[in-house]
Structure 1
Amino acid sequence: MPQRRLAAGTNAEEARQTLLQRFGEVRERTVRLTRHLEPEDMVLQSMPDASPVRWHLAHTTWFFETFILGKFARGYEPYHSSYCHLFNSYYESVGSRWPRDQRGLLSRPTATEILDYRRAVEEKVADLIGSLDAKSFEGVRPLLALGLHHEEQHQELLCTDIKSAFALSPLAPAVLPLPESFAAEPAAPSAAANERWVSFEGGLRSIGFEGEGFAFDNEGPRHQRFLQDFALHGTPVTNGAYLEFLQDGGYQNPLLWLSDGWAWLQEYGIEAPVYWRERDGEWFEVTMHGLLPLRRDRILCHVSAYEAFAFAEWAKARLPREEELEIALERDDPSGGQFLDPEGFIHPHLAGRDQALGSAYGTVWDWTQSSYSAYPGFRPAPGAVGEYNGKFMSGQLVLKGGSCATPPGHVRASYRNFFPPDARWQFTGIRLAKDL
């Protein structure tokens, strides 16, 4: 179970009201992301790894219903007898599940019915929180915090999954309208602004979460690792740099690719990033706001770890290790990163806009070369919520930093995202590293 280290409020009532406010804000943000979608859009499932928008709306609600109301609300009866089966994701100890790759085959319950389900559960959760005595509230607070962070993860997944579905359409529809601020984007920074490396001193360093506040269980225990001196590129790789790699035959040179990566490339005929489109010699890219011209000065996104490894080899560099990125993130300010804004531009901004280590937080998830595995001393908690992270520690790589689709305040230096190396539908990018 994700471990909690929650700072105590000035009093129990203040903590209760703060949590109720956050509960409302998080739940409302999820629905705002769907405000321009039609009911037909919410059923789409582009591939087994993605889920329909409608399913995300229901699953995040099922989480609160199952782990909050089902455990703490006396005499609670499930909203619908079939919803646990339909909207359970991977919690084997909770019960049976509808097959993941068939979530897009269900037209019922409708989007309207699911929104009714959300409101009903929200009201009951709010009533429960308001009625608990201080001791009972302290018991429910860790699970409620987990549910909120879980929903924030699904807000990013909602964005990436509907984008994946819309990308299949020849109509190039937009999930959200292009914000007015997009037209006022500044000119590209100078090339020199993007050609900087930031050096870090090695030695015995501590990594992993420690302290007050929320953290998932896979972020700890805090422990030590030895690092050699290293440097990170100040800005993630841009579209322009990656276009040079592509035009230099990067996708045709087996010497640049890991063996599994070359086999993947050959099997699926990969020739460019998944959302790049070439038309009459010009490149475009699929975004949350429709098909837009490819800007060379914009940060690259939606590449697999295989593509990241190949680009790093071509650039005579390497991918960072997770502990190197964590050390870098610890000295950066997360408030300066580009994170999810349902009214804003949900796509990587221009390179070089940030100070110091540009875009260390937000914009794109940085692939690492580190396998996702347990830290020394890690043990998953007993019970169903212990299935949250530990069971996936096989065949995946760690990503760090967050993206433009990650809710603000969700990530920290110790945060460990993870995906298999062929994943491309997430907002994943490349930050180069080198030894000193």
Structure 2
Amino acid sequence: MVLSEGRGGTIASSHSNAVAPDQRNMSLAERYAATRRLSEKLAEPLSEADATIQSMPDASPAKWHLAHTTWFFETFLLRDSLPGYRLHDERWPFLFNSYYEAEGARIARKDRGLIARPSLDEVHDWREAVDEAIRPLLDDPAHADLIELGIAHEQQHQELLLTDIKHAFFKNPLGPAMWRGRHAHEDEQAGGVGLADGPDWHQHPGGIALIGHQEGGFAFDNEGPAHRVLLEPFALRGTLVTNGEWDGFIADGGYRTASLWLSDAWDWVRRCNIEAPLYWRDGEHFTHCGWEERDPDAPVTHISYYEADAFASWAGMRLPTEFEWEAIARGQDSPGHPADGGNQLDEAAPPLPRGGHDLFGDCWQFTRSAYLPYPRFAPAEGAVGEYNGKFMAGQWVLKGASCTTVRGHSRPSYRNFFYPQQRWQFTGLRLARDV
């Protein structure tokens, strides 16, 4: 049970061990409503000021996330599909368009924290108006694909809302907490695992593997088309690298040893004075519940691709390719409902990685694969074709899901992607080795 003092109040209790409804048994309208409610619930602990601040250009204000996801439904569904619909406010698309060139001019990303108006209450009112207007379209099969995309899009922004506000609170010298109380699963954290002799490794004999989205149901365009790849024999570690193991990397001079780092990475380490994962200080790390003691057995998070690659070199191993990771994951996910068993967000509650043997949940896992289009990839027509394809340069693929990923949102073919220096998301690593 989550107790709230109302909009802008404080979440007073810890996360209950509740599981979100199985969305396979929910209608599209029910899934739409559940997604929209979760966004509201996540923002409930935030004041007007909390929801408006922007701590860095990579992050966006919580209010902007609430508004942008509403702009998405209004723009791509209501405006174009509901006869006679008038925009809630014709000035707001300039404020809440993200990167869709086909939708015209927009405020610079770095300036989103300057949007003091509309107020948070006005954004909530807009959300309610759009939810009411969209009702006639929710049961119309002609609009199902766009509604599915809109739901998945809002789920992505729910994760961003959590990680962006965490960074904003971290930048506050007071170290404020978004929630009081720890994650209910904290007592289930896995024990420490040795680098070379962990409890298990997923062995793969190599051969031809079919990669990409193959099952029915929703997938983003960048997950296909399905295609064949040739894998050499390899093994993927059964557990994630832990905080304690990362302490060993630091103690051994990992951040001071140039030979472990890629050239661009070493320049980044020196230029930015990088000495530890983001949110770390002596024996503690910053969480949605404020500063807390760091558990050495929990998965390390908030590392960059640069750091993940350097750690793998230090350990005498490597990062997996996205194809290797997916080949193993296809045997690990729940049939028909991928990623439903991991440590993922199932209600508005403080997310905290706990460790374990699930491939999904806890943190996104870096691969050594560049984010590129699959063979025969073609973006969708129109503005929605800008969703993924135009970002396929200079970024790296991550697999799995994090403790801030909505339950059921990920799947084996899911491709997250970030630039190599970014680490404000719940990013970690799982080691691989040749066999």
What TM-score, normalized to structure 1?
A: 0.90
State yes or no: 1:174 paired with 2:173. no
Aligned to 2:39: 30
State the partner residue of 2:252. 248
CA-based RMSD: 1.7
Q: Distance in 2 between matches of 1:179 and 1:126?
A: 37
Match of 2:415 in 1: 416
Q: Provide the rounded CA distance (Å) in 2 between the counterparts of 1:160 and 1:288.
A: 9
- Alignment deviations for residues 359-402 of structure 1 (CA, whole Å, 9 cap, x no partner): 20111100001000000000111110000000000000000011
Work out which of the residue numbers 236, 240, 246 in structure 2 matches 1:236: 240
Q: 1:187 to 1:390 in 2, by over 3 A?
A: closer
Tell me the residue number matched to 1:319: 319
Q: Residue 17 and residue 298 in structure 1: after superposition, are their counterparts in 2 closer, same or farther (change >3 A)? A: closer
Following TM superposition, by how much is the alpha carbon of 1:17 offset from its aligned partner in structure 2, in angstroms? 7.7
The one-letter code sitting in structure 2 at the alignment partner of 1:291 is W
Corresponding residue of 1:189: 191
Partner of 2:98: 89
Q: TM-score, normalised by structure 2?
A: 0.90
Which AA in structure 2 matches 1:269?
N
> Which residue is 1:400 aligned to?
399
- Structure 1 residues 263 and 229, CA gap change in structure 2 (3 angstroms): same
Which residue identity does 1:177 align to in structure 2? R
**Alignment check: 8 A CA contact 1:16 1:129 kept:** no
Q: CA deviation at 1:194?
A: 4.3
The one-letter amino acid of 1:271's match is E
**Aligned with 1:86: secondary structure?**
helix
Q: C-alpha distance in 1, partners of 2:76/2:373?
A: 25
Partner residue in 2 for 1:10? none
Q: 1:223 is matched with which residue?
A: 227
Question: Which of structure 1's runs of 4+ aligned residues deviate more than 6 A?
Answer: none
Matching residue of 1:3: none
After superposition, give the CA deviation of every residue in 1:195-237 in whole Å (9 maximum; x if it has no partner).
4322111001110112310011110011100000000111010
**Structure 2 segments unaligned to the other structure (5+ residues):** 1-23, 334-338
CA contact (8 A) 1:339 1:405 kept: yes
Separation in structure 2 between the aligned mates of residue 232 and residue 198 of structure 1, nearest angstrom: 5
Alignment check: 8 A CA contact 1:179 1:343 kept: no
Distance change >3 Å, CA 46–CA 145, structure 1 → 2: same
Query: Please, which runs of 5 or more residues in structure 1 have no aligned partner?
Result: 1-14, 131-136
Distance 1:45 1:415 in 2: 28
- Paired residue total: 405
Name the % identity. Answer: 48
Choose from 211, 226, 230 the match for 1:207: 211
Partner-residue secondary structure (3-state), 1:47:
coil
Secondary structure of 2:365's aligned partner: strand
Indicate if the aligned counterparts of 1:160 and 1:425 stay in contact, CA closer than 8 A: yes
Shift, 1:433, TM fit: 0.3
Equivalence map 1:110-149=2 (5 Å): 110-129=119-138, 137-149=140-152
User: Take 2:223 and 2:401, find their aligned partners in 1: how far apart are those partners?
Assistant: 15
Q: Is the 8 A contact 2:202 2:328 kept in 1?
A: no
Q: Distance in 1 between matches of 2:375 and 2:429?
A: 28
Aligned equivalents of 2:182, 2:284: Cα separation in 1? 19
Q: Is the 8 A contact 1:43 1:104 kept in 2?
A: yes
